[in-house]
Structure 1
Amino acid sequence: MSFNQKIQKEFQHLITFKKTNRKWPIPFLVAISMGTPLLVGLYFGNLQYGLTACLSGLVMLYLPDLGSFTNRILTVMVCSFGFMVSFAFGLLFSFNPIVSAIALGVFSMVVHWIILYYKTAPPRSFFFILIAAMAICQPFNLSTIPTKVGLLGLGTMFTAILAILYTFLLFTKDPEIASSPVVPVFKKNPAADFWEALIMGGFMLLSLLIGRLLHYSNPYWIPISCAAVMQGASLYHIWQRTFHRILGTFIGIGLTWLIITVVKTPLEICLTIILLQTIVETLIVRQYAIAVLFITPMTILLAEAANPIYNSPTTLITLRFVEIAIGSLLGAIGGWLLYKEKIRFATIEKFNQLKNSFKR
C-alpha cells in the first residue's frame, strides 16, 4: 500500500461511522446516572459533592448486552464495588507524590490482570484506572475520605437502580431475551497475559510520575490519556487511537475554550456536562475521533468545574492539551510494547512451562 493510499485510508476512518450493537437507551441512561447527582449536588449548594458522586454513572457502561437478568445486575454490582475500591485506594495513597505514582502503577497492574483473567468486555480496566488516578491526585485529607467514598457509593446505588429498572423493562418488552442462554459474568482465562498487566502498571506509574515531576496541578490527565490509548485492540488500533486522540483533542480544545467562555453558572455547567456526555456515549462506539471532540470539553468541565483555574480558560486549556498529548504519546509507546510478538511469545512459553510443572 502506497503512502497516499494509507493517507486516504486514515482519512476515510475519520469520516466513517461504524455500526454498533449498543442499544440506543444506554447513552441516555449514562447521562441520567451522571446528571442526577450533579443536579442534586447543585440543589444542595455543593457542586463538588455532585461532581464526585456523578463519576459513579460510568458504571452503566459495564451493563452487559447479553445474559440473564441476574447476570447483568450482578455485573453492575461487582463493577460498582470496584469503583468504590478504586476511589478509596486512590484517596488513601494520595499523601505523597512518589508513593502515589507507585501505588497507581501497582493498582493498575492488578486491576488490568484481573480484567484479563476474567475476560471482561470493554471498557475493561479503563474506568477503574481513571477513578483511581483522579482520586490519587486529590489533596490528602484522611477525615474526608469516608464522605467522598460514601458519595460515590450513593451514586453507584442510584445507577444500579436505573440498571435494574431498564433491564426489567427490557426483559418485559421482549420475553425471548429472558429465555436466552445464561452467559457467565466472568469467563476465566488461565493464560492471562501477566506481561501486559505489568506493562500497563509500569506506564501508569511512569505517566503519573512525569506529571508529578513537571508539577502539574492535575497530573492525572497524563495517565488517563495513556490508559485510553493503550486500550486499543491491536497495535494498529493503538497508533490510530493516538492520532485520533491528539487530533480530536487539538480541535476539541477550541470547542472547550468556547464553552468555558460562555458557560459560567453552575447550572449551565451541569446541563452542558449532561449534554456532552450523551453525545460522547452516542458517538464513541461509532466514530472515536469525532467523539474525542466532545470528550475533551466534557472531561475538562467534569474535572475542573469546581477548580479556581476554570476562570482562566487560556491557562487551563494549554495545560490540559500538553498533558493529554504527553499521555497519548506515552500510550502509543506502551501499546507498541504490549503488542511486541516477543513479549507475547515469552508469556505463552512461560504459561506452558508452569502448566507442565504442575502436571509433574
Structure 2
Amino acid sequence: MADPQGAPRPAGFVARLRSLGALDLEVALRAALAAVVPLTVLVVLGRVDLAAYAAFGGMTAIFGRSEPYRTRVRTVTAAGAAQLTAIGAGILLSATDAPLAIEAAVLAAVIAVVIIGYNTLGVTPSGPLFAVFAVLVCAAQPVDEGSGWLRWGVAAAAAAFAWLLAMSGWLLRRAAPRRARTIFKPLPRQAPVRVRASADPRVWLNVVQNVVAALAAGGAALLLGIGHPYWAVVSAVAVIPPARAAHTVQRAWHRVIGTAVGVGVAGLVLWPEPPIWVLVVVIGICQFGAELLVGRHYGAALVFVTPLALTVAHLAGSAPLPVLLGDRLVETVIGAALGVAAVLAARRFVEFVPMPPPTVATPSIEPEEQP
C-alpha cells in the first residue's frame, strides 16, 4: 500500500514508526497549531467552556492534506463550511431542546449532505466523521439563552484561523529562497470535482451505511443507559470506509485496541488534575502525533486521538473522569461492532448488485479521523 505521497509503505508496525521522518511534518504542525492557538485564547479569556466549539472549528486544518493550493482552497473551504454548518445545527438543537427524533433526522441529513458534497467536491477525507462529532457534541452542550451566536462565532473564528493555516504554505513556499524550497514536500494529491457523484450507487450505499450504523449505535447506547451516546455514534461512523474504497473490518480492530490504550493514556494525564495549561499542551501534542501516525497505522494514531478527544471533553464538560473514560471505552466497542456489521452488510450487498470496481482511498485522519 502506498503512503499519502505515493511512496511504497514499509511493512510492519516497527518499520512504519521508523519511517516517521518521511511524513509531512508541515501538516501535523498546522493541525496542532489550529487546535492549540484558539484554546490558548479561550484560556486567557477565562472561557474554557467554549473549548469544544473552537476544537471543532479548528478541525478545518485537517483537510487539504498534500493538495496543490488551487485545489486546497476549494476543499478546505468546503470542509470549513461543513464544520460550521454542523456546529450551528448542534447549537440550534440544544438551544431549542429538540426532541430525539428531530436530532436523529438532523444527524441523518448531515451525514447525507456531507458524504455527497465531499465526494462531489473532492474533499479528503470524504467521510462524515468530523461533522457528525461536531453536531452531536454541540447538541449535547447546554446553551444559555442568547449565547448561541457567541458559541458559533468562536467556532467560526477557529475555522478561519485553521483555513489560514492550511493555506499558509502557499506564502511560505513563495517567500523562501530558491535553495530553501527543497525542504518543502511536493503536493501531488489530485482531488477532481465529480459532478455526477450523486448518481454513483457507491456514494449512496455509503450514505445508507453511515446513517443506519449511526442511528443504531446511538439507539443502543441510549437503550443501555450509557452516558455520552455520541461516542458510540462516532465510533460506528469511524469504522466505515469512504465511498469507492475497499471494505475492510481491520479499521474496527484498530479502533478498539487503539482506543483502549488511549483511554489508559488519558487516565494517566487527567487523573492528577494538571493545570489547564498542561492540558492545552497535551492537546497540541496529541493532535501532532495523530496527524503523523494516521496515514501509517490507524490503531497507533488512536493512542493520540483518544486522549485528545477526552481532554477536550474534560475541558468542556463536568462529568466525573472515571465515567468519561468508561463511557468512551464501552461505547467504542458498541459503535465499532455496529460499524463492522454495516461494513459486512455492504460487502454482501455488493456481491449481489454489480458495482464499479472500488478504489483504495488515500489514508488520512480522523480526526481521518480523529475523534
The TM-score by the shorter chain falls in which range? 0.7 to 0.9
Kindly report which structure 2 residues correspond to 1:114-153, keeping only aligned pairs within 5 A, or say none: 114-122=117-125, 124-139=127-142, 143-153=146-156
Larger Rg: 1
SS of 2:226's equivalent in the other structure is: coil
Counterpart residue number, 1:274? 284
Q: Which runs of 5+ in 2 are unaligned?
A: 1-10, 357-371
Counterpart residue number, 1:358? none
Counterpart residue number, 2:106? 103
Q: In the alignment, is the contact (CA less than 8 A) between 2:58 and 2:159 conserved in 1?
A: yes
Deviations 1:46-101 (A, max 9, x none): 1122342132221112124233x333223222221111111112222342223212
Instruction: Find the aligned partners of 2:273 and 2:16 in 1 and give their Cα distance.
Output: 30
Counterpart residue number, 1:84? 84
| Superposition deviation, residue 41 in structure 1 | 0.3
Kindly report which structure 2 residues correspond to 1:41-52, keeping only aligned pairs within 5 A, or say none: 41-52=42-53
RMSD: 2.9
Instruction: Find the aligned partners of 1:187 and 1:317 in 2 and give their Cα distance.
Output: 41
Counterpart residue number, 1:65? 66
Instruction: Find the aligned partners of 1:152 and 1:55 in 2 and give their Cα distance.
Output: 7
| Superposition deviation, residue 318 in structure 1 | 1.5
Aligned residue among 300, 320, 323 for 1:290 = 300
Instruction: Find the aligned partners of 1:59 and 1:263 in 2 and give their Cα distance.
Output: 29
* Greater per-residue helix proportion: 1
Q: Which runs of 5+ in 1 are unaligned?
A: 1-11, 349-360
Instruction: Find the aligned partners of 1:299 and 1:110 in 2 and give their Cα distance.
Output: 24
Q: In the alignment, is the contact (CA less than 8 A) between 1:82 and 1:128 conserved in 2?
A: yes
Q: In the alignment, is the contact (CA less than 8 A) between 2:214 and 2:233 conserved in 1?
A: yes
**Distance 1:213-1:171 versus aligned 2 partners, 3 A rule:** farther
Q: In the alignment, is the contact (CA less than 8 A) between 1:222 and 1:327 conserved in 2?
A: yes
Instruction: Indicate whether 1:159 and 2:179 are aligned.
Output: no
Q: In the alignment, is the contact (CA less than 8 A) between 1:59 and 1:159 conserved in 2?
A: yes
Instruction: Find the aligned partners of 1:101 and 1:110 in 2 and give their Cα distance.
Output: 14
**Distance 1:254-1:50 versus aligned 2 partners, 3 A rule:** closer
Instruction: Find the aligned partners of 1:110 and 1:123 in 2 and give their Cα distance.
Output: 11
Instruction: Find the aligned partners of 1:65 and 1:277 in 2 and give their Cα distance.
Output: 17
**Distance 1:111-1:224 versus aligned 2 partners, 3 A rule:** same
Supply the AA of the counterpart residue of 1:108: I
Instruction: Find the aligned partners of 1:336 and 1:172 in 2 and give their Cα distance.
Output: 50
Instruction: Indicate whether 1:17 and 2:16 are aligned.
Output: yes
Aligned residue among 296, 314, 334 for 1:304 = 314
Counterpart residue number, 2:258? 248
SS of 1:147's equivalent in the other structure is: helix
Counterpart residue number, 1:7? none
Deviations 1:252-299 (A, max 9, x none): 222121111134321121111111111111111112111111211111
**Distance 1:98-1:216 versus aligned 2 partners, 3 A rule:** farther
| Superposition deviation, residue 346 in structure 1 | 5.7
Instruction: Find the aligned partners of 2:323 and 2:151 in 1 and give their Cα distance.
Output: 28
**Distance 1:96-1:13 versus aligned 2 partners, 3 A rule:** farther
Supply the AA of the counterpart residue of 2:43: L
Q: In the alignment, is the contact (CA less than 8 A) between 1:92 and 1:142 conserved in 2?
A: no
Supply the AA of the counterpart residue of 2:91: L
Q: In the alignment, is the contact (CA less than 8 A) between 2:122 and 2:192 conserved in 1?
A: no
TM score, norm. by length of structure 1: 0.82
Counterpart residue number, 1:338? 346
| Superposition deviation, residue 344 in structure 1 | 7.2
Instruction: Find the aligned partners of 2:246 and 2:115 in 1 and give their Cα distance.
Output: 16
Instruction: Find the aligned partners of 1:305 and 1:46 in 2 and give their Cα distance.
Output: 10
Counterpart residue number, 1:354? none
Please list every run of at least 4 consecutive aligned residues from structure 1 whose deviation after the TM superposition is greater than 4 angstroms.
12-16, 18-22, 171-177, 179-185
**Distance 1:144-1:215 versus aligned 2 partners, 3 A rule:** farther
Q: In the alignment, is the contact (CA less than 8 A) between 1:116 and 1:192 conserved in 2?
A: no
**Distance 1:262-1:345 versus aligned 2 partners, 3 A rule:** same
Counterpart residue number, 1:234? 246
Instruction: Find the aligned partners of 1:25 and 1:66 in 2 and give their Cα distance.
Output: 12
Instruction: Find the aligned partners of 1:277 and 1:63 in 2 and give their Cα distance.
Output: 16
**Distance 1:313-1:93 versus aligned 2 partners, 3 A rule:** closer
| Superposition deviation, residue 314 in structure 1 | 2.6
Supply the AA of the counterpart residue of 2:63: Y
Deviations 1:310-332 (A, max 9, x none): xx433322221101111111111
**Distance 1:111-1:197 versus aligned 2 partners, 3 A rule:** same
| Superposition deviation, residue 113 in structure 1 | 2.7
Counterpart residue number, 1:29? 30
Instruction: Find the aligned partners of 1:111 and 1:152 in 2 and give their Cα distance.
Output: 18
Q: In the alignment, is the contact (CA less than 8 A) between 1:14 and 1:289 conserved in 2?
A: no
- Matched residue pairs, number? 331
Supply the AA of the counterpart residue of 2:134: I
**Distance 1:284-1:254 versus aligned 2 partners, 3 A rule:** same
Q: In the alignment, is the contact (CA less than 8 A) between 1:120 and 1:187 conserved in 2?
A: no
SS of 1:33's equivalent in the other structure is: helix
Instruction: Find the aligned partners of 1:291 and 1:231 in 2 and give their Cα distance.
Output: 16
**Distance 1:182-1:42 versus aligned 2 partners, 3 A rule:** closer
